[in-house]
Chain A
Amino acid sequence: MPVTVVEEWLNSCSGCEISILNIGDTLLDLLPELNFVHIPVLMDHKYYGQTGESEVMEIPEADIGIVSGGVRNEEHKLVLQETRKKTNILIALGSCAAHGGIPAQANMYTNEDMFEKLFRGSPSTDPASDPDHPDVPKWLDSCLALDEVVDVDVTIPGCPPHPDWIAEAITSLLEGKTLWSLPERSVCDTCPVIREQKSAGGPVKRCFEKLEFNPEEGLDKMRCINEQGFLCLGPVTLAGCAGKKGVPRCIQARTPCRGCFGPIRKGARPMVDMMGAMSSVGLDPKTVVDRRAIMNRYIGGHGNLRPLPARPVRR
C-alpha cells in the first residue's frame, strides 16, 4: 500500500519543492510508494471542493504531511492547522518552516513600517492604502516557524534542504519509523579547508574582497574562510547542505556560509556562539557589518529577530 502524502507551501519561494524534484532519478523509484492526495504545485485538488462550493476548507487525510514556508498570514495558519489535523506525521521542510527563513528578516520591522514602505514609499508605486479585502489574508504580527503554531514531528532544515535528506527522511518514514533528524554536527565538521586556529586579525572583511585560493586545487588546499578574515557561519551552522557526500555548498563556490541550515541543536544561540568562535581566532566580532541581520539571516522566527532599533547588540 502506498503511503498517502499531503504537500503544502506557505510563506515560501518554491525552492523546497524544486529540491524535492532534485532527488532526480531516485524520485522515480520513490513515486510509486507515495500517493499524493494534495499538492498544489503539481496537482489540482482544491480547498473548498473542486468547484469551490464548500464552506469549510478541507485537505484530505494522509499519513504524511510535508509543509514548506513559514507562517506569515491568517490563511497560512489555517492551512497549517488543517494539515496538522489531517496528517499523522508532519514534516517541516526547509529553513522557513523550521526557523522562519529569509522572509523572517521582516521581523526586524513592524508591520506598519513594512506596509508603509511597500505601498506608499516606493518610487514606482502610486501611493495607496494597504490592501484590505476578505480575499487578501491578514498578516500575523510576525513571520513564524511552523512549530510556533502546531506540533512538528520531523524537521528537514536547509535553504533549500538537500535532496539526499528529503529522500532519506521519506524513505525512513516509509519503513515505519516516526522520527528522523540530521546528526548534530557543524558545517566546519564537514569542511576540508586548512585551519590553523588563528587569523591575521584586523576588521572583518566584506565579501567584495578577494578570497585567497588556487582554483586548480581542491578545498583541502584552501585556508579557512574565517581565518582569512571573513565572516563564515560554518562554526555555528548545522552540517548537511552538501547531502551525504561532498563539501559544504557555499564553500564549494568559494563563498562563506551564511547559516542556511540553522543552528546545530535546538536551543543553541548561534549569534553568541559565533562571536565566541571569531574571538578564538583573533577576529573582532564587533567589526562585522550588519551583524544582527547577517547572523540571523535564516533564523528570524522564534523571536530571534524583533523590531528593535538597529544598533549593535552588547556581548
Chain B
Amino acid sequence: MGKVVNIQPVTRIEGHAKVAIHLDDAGNVADTRLHIQTLRGFEKFVEGRPVEEMPRIVCHICGICPWSHHLASSKAGDACFGVTPPPAAVKLRRLMQMIAYVGDKLLHFYFLAAPDFLIGPDADYAVRNVVGILSAAPDIAKQVVHYRHLTAQILENFAGRAIHPTFSIPGGVSKPMTEAERLEMLDHAKGLLDFSKFTIKFAKENVFAKYMDAIKALGVIKVGYLGLVTDDGTLDFYDGKLRMMRPDGTYDDFADDAYLDHIGEHVEPWSYQKFPYAKTWGDGPVMDLDNPVGVYRTNCLARINVCDKMATPLAQTELEEFRDNFGRPAHLTLLYHYARLIELLQCAEHTVELLEDPEITSPDIHTKVVPRTGRGVGCVEAPRGTLIHDYESNDEGLISRANLIVGTTHNNAAMNLSVKQAAKELIKDGTYDQAILNKVEMAIRAYDP
C-alpha cells in the first residue's frame, strides 16, 4: 500500500472528524475513511436521571440543534408517562422548533457552506470563510448576521434560552404565550420569511445555477432515505410516521416506536460513530461504492425525497420545480444545499402560520403527569436528520434505559461513501493539492454534519 493523505481536522462542520485517503502504489485511491473522533456517551450517563430532567440534559448533545433534541426528549417523556400535551403546548413546541430551524439553516448556508461557492472551492483557506464573505458581499453578510441573531433573540426573549432550552417538559411546556408576545413575534417572523424568500432566490441564481457541473459530480452516491411524514405524506419536522425509501424510490412506512424492526447499528473499529443501516434491505451495511447495501441518508435531501408534498404553499412551489429538474428521489449529494433552502421556506412560512393561530395563546399548556413504568419513543426531524429518543422509565419515573440514534449518525455510512466517491474522482496518479482536498471535504459539508 502507498501513502495515506490525511485531512485533519475536517473543517466548517459541527463536530470532530478526520479523513484518511489511502493511495495505492500508483497513487490512485485504494480506500478512504471518515473517522469520527469524539464520543460523549449520553446513553449511559442519563441512566437514573428523572425523565422530566431529560429534555434539559440531552439538548446538550448539540449546541446547534438543541431544540430538536429538547423536543424529541419531551415527546419520549410524554410517551413514558402516557400523556398527551394540550394543543397549545404542541403548537408552542413546534413554533420554537421552526424558529430555531430558520436560524440553523441560515447558519449552515451562509457561514459554513457558502464560502466554497461564493469565494470558490480553490481559494486560499485564509479567505475561504465567513470573514471572506463579509468582505466580498458585506450587505448580504450584515443581513445574515442580523437575521440569524434575531432567531436567537426571539427564542431567548420568550423561552429564556435559545441554546440549551428548558421550556418543554413532559406533558407540555413551562409557560403560555401572551397576546403581546405573539404580536411582537409575528412582526419578526414576517421579516424572517422575507429574508428566507430572498435566500432561496439568491442561491438559485448565484450558487446552484453556477455550480451545476460540480453538483452533478461531487460525492454522488445512490442510496436510500429516511424522514418523518404525516399520514398524508406531508413533510413534518415535529411528528408523524417514519418513511424509509429505497434507492429506487419505493418505500415502507412505520410507527416511530417500531424503529428497531427497521434500523440496526453497526460498529467499526475505526470510528466512534456507529453506522445505522436498513435492516430489511439485505445483509448490510456494506459500504461498497458500486453496490452499497442497507445504506440510507437523512437530513434535508432525505426529507425532500421521502415526502409527497410540502406543508406550505411557497415551499410546495419550490419542491415542484426541484422535482421537475432532479426527479424523485434526487441522489446528487450537493443538492442537500438546495433542499435545505426549500425547507427554510417551509419553516419560515409555518412560523407565521403558527403565530396567526389564535389557539397559540391558550393558557392550557400542560397535562398533569404521574411518574410510572413505561417506554416512550420520541422522534423529530432535526436539521441534520431524524432523531430517535427511546426511553424506558421505572416506577419512580427515572430512566432505566435510553437508546439514541441521532441526526448525523444516520449519515455516517453515506458520508463515508461520498468521501470515497469524491476522492476517487479527484485524486489520480498521486496528484492532489489543498483545493482537491477541500473538494473532498465539500462532499462531507453537504451533509451539514
**Interface of A toward B, CB cutoff 8 Å:** 9, 11-19, 21-22, 24-25, 27-28, 31, 36, 40-48, 50-52, 72-73, 75-76, 101-103, 105-106, 108-109, 113-114, 117-119, 122-126, 128-129, 131-133, 135-137, 139, 159-160, 206-208, 210-211, 213, 215-216, 249-255, 258, 260, 289-290, 293-294, 297, 310
Contact = CB atoms under 8 A, between A and B. Distances in A.
B6 interface: yes
Nearest to B268: A131
Given A21-B149, A25-B146, A290-B398, A122 B164 contact: no
Contacts of A101: 60
B37 A52 contact: no
Contact of B11 (A44, A109, A207): A44
Interface string B7-46: 1110110111010100000000000010101111101111
Given A118-B41, A206-B50, A15 B66 contact: yes
B145 to A, nearest CB: 6
A250 B166 contact: yes
A46 B160 contact: no
Nearest to A43: B129
A14 B44 contact: no
Nearest to B363: A215
B16 to A, nearest CB: 8
Given A75-B37, A249-B161, A254-B174, A14 B14 contact: yes
Contacts of A105: 45-46, 57
26 contacts: A12-B63, A14-B63, A19-B163, A24-B152, A25-B146, A42-B130, A43-B11, A46-B9, A47-B9, A48-B6, A114-B41, A114-B45, A124-B260, A126-B267, A132-B269, A135-B18, A136-B269, A136-B270, A137-B37, A160-B164, A206-B52, A206-B371, A207-B53, A208-B52, A255-B166, A258-B56
A211 B134 CA distance: 46
B33 A135 contact: yes
Contacts of B126: 43
B125 A253 contact: no
B41 A135 contact: no
Contact of B272 (A12, A44, A131): A131
A293 B135 CA distance: 47
Provide the main secondary structure of the chain A interface: loop
A151 B160 CA distance: 33
B17 to A, nearest CB: 10
A44 B12 CA distance: 7
B202 to A, nearest CB: 20
Contacts of A293: 48-49
The 6 closest A-B pairs by CB, nearest first: A15-B63, A253-B160, A128-B267, A252-B160, A24-B149, A13-B63
B265 to A, nearest CB: 4
Nearest to A36: B131
A123 B269 contact: no
B128 A103 contact: no
Given A13-B60, A106-B40, 20 more contacts: A13-B62, A15-B63, A15-B66, A25-B146, A27-B145, A31-B134, A42-B11, A46-B11, A50-B434, A51-B433, A106-B44, A118-B39, A125-B266, A128-B269, A136-B270, A207-B169, A252-B160, A253-B159, A254-B175, A290-B49
B60 A102 contact: yes
A27 to B, nearest CB: 6
A114 B272 CA distance: 13
Contact of B265 (A122, A136, A289): A122
B403 interface: yes
A126 B267 CA distance: 7
Given A51-B5, A106-B44, A289 B396 contact: yes
B62 A215 contact: no
Interface residues of B, number: 103
A15 B164 contact: yes
B40 A11 contact: yes
A50 B47 CA distance: 42
A294 B57 CA distance: 10
A252 B155 CA distance: 11
Contacts of B265: 122, 124-126
Contacts of A16: 63
Contact of B270 (A126, A135, A207): A135
B9 A40 contact: yes
A136 B35 contact: yes
A14 B178 contact: no
B35 A211 contact: no
B271 A294 contact: no
Contacts of B35: 133, 135-136
A225 to B, nearest CB: 11
A43 B81 CA distance: 45
Contacts of A41: 11-12, 14, 112
A250 B164 CA distance: 10
A42 B37 contact: no
A137 B35 CA distance: 10
A168 to B, nearest CB: 17
A251 B265 CA distance: 39
A136 B271 contact: yes
Contacts of A136: 35, 37, 269-272
A76 B317 CA distance: 47
B176 A122 contact: no
A255 B160 contact: yes
B378 interface: no
Contacts of A18: 63-64, 107, 152, 163
A208 B163 CA distance: 21
A31 B129 CA distance: 13
Contact of B152 (A14, A22, A51): A22
Interface string B158-187: 011111111101110011101000000000
B405 interface: yes
Nearest to A293: B49
Contacts of A22: 149, 152, 162-163
Nearest to B104: A18
A126 B107 CA distance: 35
A124 B52 contact: no
B259 to A, nearest CB: 8
Given A12-B63, A135-B35, A216 B161 contact: no
Contact of A31 (B61, B131, B267): B131
Contacts of B403: 122-124
Nearest to B18: A135
Given A253-B174, A289-B396, A109 B148 contact: no
